Amino acid sequence: MLQTILTTIIFIGSFAFVLGLVVFIHEMGHYSVARMFGVAVDRFSIGFGKPIYKRTAKSGTQWVVGRIPLGGYVKFMGDAGAASNPDTERLKKIKTEIDTKHGEQAWKTCLHFKPLYQRFLVVLAGPVANFILAAVIFAGPAFFVGDYKHTPKITSVTPDSAAQQAGFRVGDEFVSINGKTVDDTNTVAQMIELRSGSELSVVVERAGGLETLYVKPVRTEKIDGVGGKYEAGQIGVGFAGPYTHVTFDPMEASAHGVKKVYSSLANTGFYIGRIFQGKEDGKALGSIVKIGAITGKVGVMASQVEGGIGKKIKAMWLSLISLAAGLSIGLGFANLMPIPVLDGGHLMYYLYEAVMRKPLSEGAQEIGFRVGFAVLITLFLYLTWNDTGYVSGMFSKAG
């Protein structure tokens, strides 16, 4: 009974820590740039619902932790809500209301009256902060520990597989895929998994020369590190052998972190592009349910490593902070989607304002926000349905 309670606490705590961290950094991005431009902030909240913690700073900002840890927001002075982007007529009313409530000239600290480029940067700062967090997380271990590369040299070819039919042999070493140089097995695996059903042009080194082979990855069910089932491309080759330890100086580690963030964004964009092309079903995408299940299970698995409490805490920290990097990239990417109510929607409206020299009418914005909200709800329901099969597999005996 005690073990069950402890496991539940670790499971929930792991999820709250990872999600809380990436949301806090996202909102801090908005907040920091806003304050840099002299914007007044009424509230900085992590979570929703009734506050369990509340403090008012000297700047007048109310710092809040809500009971429902599923997001957060920054409320600027004069904002009707997170989706507020008033038109010309509404701006006049807001200006009068602010001066009446806070004193003459107070309107100058309202985000709505700041130059367009400043408003644009305040909104953009949230997703950018998420990307920076991920880059820092990736760079840290690279600098202090280094990285390990596994040469993509084939040590086994599955009989009757796509690879055997394409002519791959044991001893072949991957050089490039579709013209992109590959020098480690992780890169090879990612490119193959994301391209099921599409023919790949693969250059391999064989007996001192180069050979070009053509292979089409087959969509195959796999099980990931936490027991979740997913489908991805596979050609039927295996890699084994020693890893090469690579070290980085501070600049190289920073570049390594940025490169990993870029690679993750590029792969995400590529996958979504394939969804619109009808080449993927989108089941690799997940909602808060999948995120919670993965973070919780990873936290529990890390807490079960052999050793003292110090070793367990270290294992949990390293595992969860690595997950936070991936989730931070996902949150930043999702918020940049051009859907009203998301950061990308705000940026889209600001671009309209830059071109037309005036804000989009409030009526048109309202329609956009309603459509955007409907899209988000539909997407959430679809992703949650996706999650059911994945999560059930995670907690089955096989997973």
Instruction: Please tell me the distance from the alpha carbon of residue 108 to that of residue 111, in angstroms, as a whole number.
Output: 8
Q: What is the dihedral of CA 349, 269, 290, 27, to 10 degrees?
A: -40
Tokens of 152: 């993509």
Q: Angle CA(218)–CA(221)–CA(225) in degrees, nearest 5?
A: 125
138's CB contacts (< 8 A; 6+ apart) are 256, 257, 260, 261, 325
Contact 224, 143 (CB under 8 A): no
Among candidate residues 298, 254, 277, the one with its CA nearest the CA of residue 134: 254
Instruction: Please tell me the distance from the alpha carbon of residue 236 to that of residue 77, in angstroms, as a whole number.
Output: 58
Contact 157, 234 (CB under 8 A): no
* Amino acid, res. 269: G
Instruction: Please tell me the distance from the alpha carbon of residue 91 to that of residue 395, in angstroms, as a whole number.
Output: 53
Among candidate residues 149, 152, 148, 151, the one with its CA nearest the CA of residue 237: 152
Contact 293, 299 (CB under 8 A): no
Q: Which of 27, 104, 199, 252 is catalytic?
A: 27
Instruction: Please tell me the distance from the alpha carbon of residue 355 to that of residue 316, in angstroms, as a whole number.
Output: 49
Helices (H), the chain: 2-36, 88-102, 116-144, 162-166, 185-193, 250-276, 288-303, 309-335, 343-356, 362-394
- Which H or E element spans position 62? strand 62-76
Sign of the CA dihedral with 47 first, then 50, 56, and 59 last: positive
Instruction: Please tell me the distance from the alpha carbon of residue 93 to that of residue 229, in angstroms, as a whole number.
Output: 54
27 is catalytic: yes
Residues designated as active site: 27
